[in-house]
Chain A
Amino acid sequence: MKLFKIFKNGIINDNPIFVQLIGMCSTLAVTTSVSNGLAMGLAVVAVLMGSNLVISLLRNSTPEKIRIPAFVIVIATFVTIVEMFMKAYAQPIYQALGIFLPLIVVNCIIFARAEAFAFKNGPVASLIDGLGMGLGYTLALVTLSTVREIFGAGSFFGIPLFGESFQPAGILVMPPGAFIVLGILIGIFNVARRKKATSEI
């Protein structure tokens, strides 16, 4: 039951994008289409689970003082593995994500989880935490990219939804749209959370 709570925590209560507001760069940049958002989300899930597991296993043999460089090396290794894997098996996605794939290294979510969770908890709990946080991040990315793709390009997963006469709001798939849609989504999430909090009291 406790593991389920950790898992749910990552997706809803402590959602990295909507609640903790970390890891914004890649969120804004890759969400021009749903397939890019999903691919980026899954890449982060893979890195986060791997780094959480290894850091948790090594937590007793890592000296406190050099933990940050140790985290960096573990995270960078997993990012390189994911990068090479995508380059070999998913070339178009690799091209679309471009610079943001190596930049997963400096994504604050992964550091934050290593420092706040994996370094203090056992391997199984850390693995579940990585999965939950990663899926929470993916959920935010997919939501944001769904809104942007449907209204900005008139399609979903690249399949056109509306007829020829539909005029998409192109601004949504351009950089400004990312900021504005994310701002409004966080606002909506805030309202929903506040409603839930007051009904529980």
Chain B
Amino acid sequence: MSIATILIATIFVNNYVFARFLGICPFLGVSNKMETATGMGVAVTFVVTLSSILTYFIQKGILDKLGLEYLQTIVFILVIAALVQFVELVIKKMSPTLYNALGVYLPLITTNCVVLGVAILNIQEGYNLIQTIFNAIGSSLGFTLALILASGVREKLELADVPEALKGFPIALITAGLMSIAFLGFNGLI
């Protein structure tokens, strides 16, 4: 698969939120305001790319060599949790401004299934290092796009007259459904 195909496929056609259902919790949790959505998106892009590269080397260098593939889930989640802590420490030391912008989102990322999902899918699809990196970038950009689009709609939705029972999460889910229908239109791209 060429790099362009991977990017288009992961951002639009197989968008992680609308078509693959990964990262729904943060999608519903932080898509209230455009500003927080962008912050979360940047933090996720950063962590997903780093963790994909790291888990790729761990899978090829350690797990495959020693025949320990069945430990994949345990090892990957530990690596991701440690990585998130590490990134938090480094950013805090190096750039307090960036830390203030991303700080709150970083701990939340450990339990974001996009991170573990992308790491496992990279291995399952048999991508090489370059494809892994672009798959990670594409998927997290797709996630960010979904977050920003949804936050735009939800900012307007706060002023709308929604039936009492549907206020909050239910209407957010229905909105996401309608956006997902729009994303189905990208199906013919590849």
Contacts and interface: CB of A to CB of B under 8 A. Distances in A.
Interface of A: 21-26, 28-29, 68-69, 72-73, 76-77, 79-80, 83-84, 99, 102-103, 105-108, 111, 171, 174-180, 182-184, 186-188, 190-191, 194
B178 to A, nearest CB: 7
B169 interface: yes
Interface residue range, chain B? 35 or more
Contacts of B113: 25, 103, 106-107
A162 B11 CA distance: 38
Contacts of A25: 21-25, 113
Q: DSSP class of A's interface residues: helix, strand, loop or mixed? A: helix
Interface string B150-190: 00000000000001011001111110111011001000000
Contacts of A171: 181
A84 B169 contact: no
Interface of B: 18-25, 28, 70-74, 77-78, 81, 110-113, 116-117, 120-121, 124, 163, 165-166, 169-174, 176-178, 180-181, 184
Contact of A180 (B24, B78, B111, B177): B177
Given A25-B25, A73-B74, A99-B121, A106 B111 contact: yes
Given A183-B166, A187-B166, A187-B170, A111 B177 contact: no
A105 B73 contact: yes
Q: DSSP class of B's interface residues: helix, strand, loop or mixed? A: helix
Given A176-B180, A179-B177, 12 more contacts: A24-B25, A28-B24, A68-B81, A80-B74, A105-B73, A106-B77, A108-B25, A175-B180, A176-B178, A183-B170, A184-B170, A184-B174
A175 B13 CA distance: 12
Nearest to B182: A176
B104 to A, nearest CB: 17
A65 B78 CA distance: 16
B174 to A, nearest CB: 4
11 contacts: A25-B23, A25-B25, A103-B113, A106-B111, A106-B113, A174-B184, A175-B18, A178-B177, A179-B174, A180-B177, A183-B173
Contact of B21 (A73, A84, A178, A180): A178
Contacts of A84: 70
A193 B82 CA distance: 41
